[in-house]
Amino acid sequence: MRFKCCEWALYHLVINSEDLTYCCQSFDKKLTFLENYHGEPVDIDKYLKDREEYIEKCKKGDYPEVCKDCPTLEERDWDETPGFIDVSVSNRTKCSCDCIYCIISGGGRSEIKKELNSREVWDVKPVLSALRDKNMFKRGCHFIIGGGECAEYPKEELKWLIDFVFSINGSIEFLSAGITYSDDITKALEKGETKLKVSVDAGYKKTWEKIKRIKGFDNVWNNLKKYIKAEKKNPNAHVTIKYIIIPGINDNLKEVKEFIKRALKIGCKSIEINVEFFWMNENFDKPISAQLKEVLKYFKSLQDKNVYFSGNINSHIKNWLSDNLN
């Protein structure tokens, strides 16, 4: 049936450190399935009932307050059959990085990172197993394993997640900074439908250390070599090296060209470009600097080398990039 609704609310599950949600929003306003969740038994029937009520409200145009004016609302024909096509696992928040753009601890909030790295983490296995028992994962369901840093998950838990995804014929995507090497991620790249996305964001060590606020630049590139070697063994594996543009820090051609040079040298076949989320939101309606425009145009000229722009949440960043490059 055709009506205005949200793909995230219907088909996505986001497993956070303190809630289960199906909303892409990472801040105060989001559509939440269970708040203050820490591994308790999940009432799947309640979820299904809540979902049905949400659909009926959407059909009437009576959206929850958190959904009103959300850019992800879309009018089209919707498959109302229950089931998830995307699952984001982010209940673990431990990470060795302290990135200045981190959605959790960025902007100098390193004390928050210390608290997150030391907090007790609940077991994700029961909720995923319960959903599998209710056949809630659609065929080909895509799992995104983030955090935190996925390579710093306890080894037995990361291995269980990988085996679980492959057991339901799903695909898996790891989001990493690349500092910590994981042989389980390597095995996943060699074995099944697997993506690995590593945010490097710099071509030179000095800039990288300014962004990440730790040491380990050379280690990241050495780890990437291993992952790309594994990628070559499996036609269903895909390693992407990401460059998040941070105006005033890494938005210059010298930095960008060195990054591209390093990525191509180790055999990278996919380079993703994005603009720092918070800067983007604050400057969406403002003209960009000549330097940033020059960088964006350079990246665009490399599209034949599998360099591509990505969007956060929806297409609004891609549209913004397009508008500023015309």
Q: Which of 164, 177, 30, 188 is nearest to 101 (CA)?
A: 177
Instruction: Pick the range with the lowest mean pLDDT from 89-98, 155-164, 221-230.
Output: 89-98
| Residue range 84-325, CATH number | 3.20.20.70
The 3-state secondary structure of the chain, one letter per residue = CEEEEEHHHHHEEEECCCEEECCCCCCCCCCEEEECCCCCCCCHHHHHHHHHHHHHHHHHCCCCHHHCCCCCEEEEECCCCCCEEEEEECCCCCCCCCCCCCCCCCCCCHHHHHHHHHCCCCCCHHHHHHHHHCCCEEEEEEEEECCCCHHHCCHHHHHHHHHHHHHCCCEEEEEECCCCCCHHHHHHHHHCCEEEEEECCCCCHHHHHHHHCCCCHHHHHHHHHHHHHHHCCCCCEEEEEEEEECCCCCCCHHHHHHHHHHHHHCCCCCEEEEECHHHHHHCCCCCCCHHHHHHHHHHHHCHHHCEEECCCCCCHHHHHHHHHHC
Total-model pTM: 0.90
pLDDT band at 325 (very low <50, low <70, confident <90, very high): low
pLDDT at 312: 46
Pinpoint the residues of the chain covered by CATH 3.20.20.70.
84-325
pLDDT at 16: 86
User: pLDDT, tens digit, for every residue of 7-30?
Assistant: 988 999 999 888 888 876 655 567
User: pLDDT, tens digit, for every residue of 251-287?
Assistant: 999 999 999 999 999 999 899 888 887 787 787 777 8
d(C-alpha 26, C-alpha 21), whole Å: 10
Whole-number mean pLDDT of the chain? 87
pLDDT band at 313 (very low <50, low <70, confident <90, very high): very low
User: pLDDT, tens digit, for every residue of 283-309?
Assistant: 777 788 889 888 888 888 887 777 777
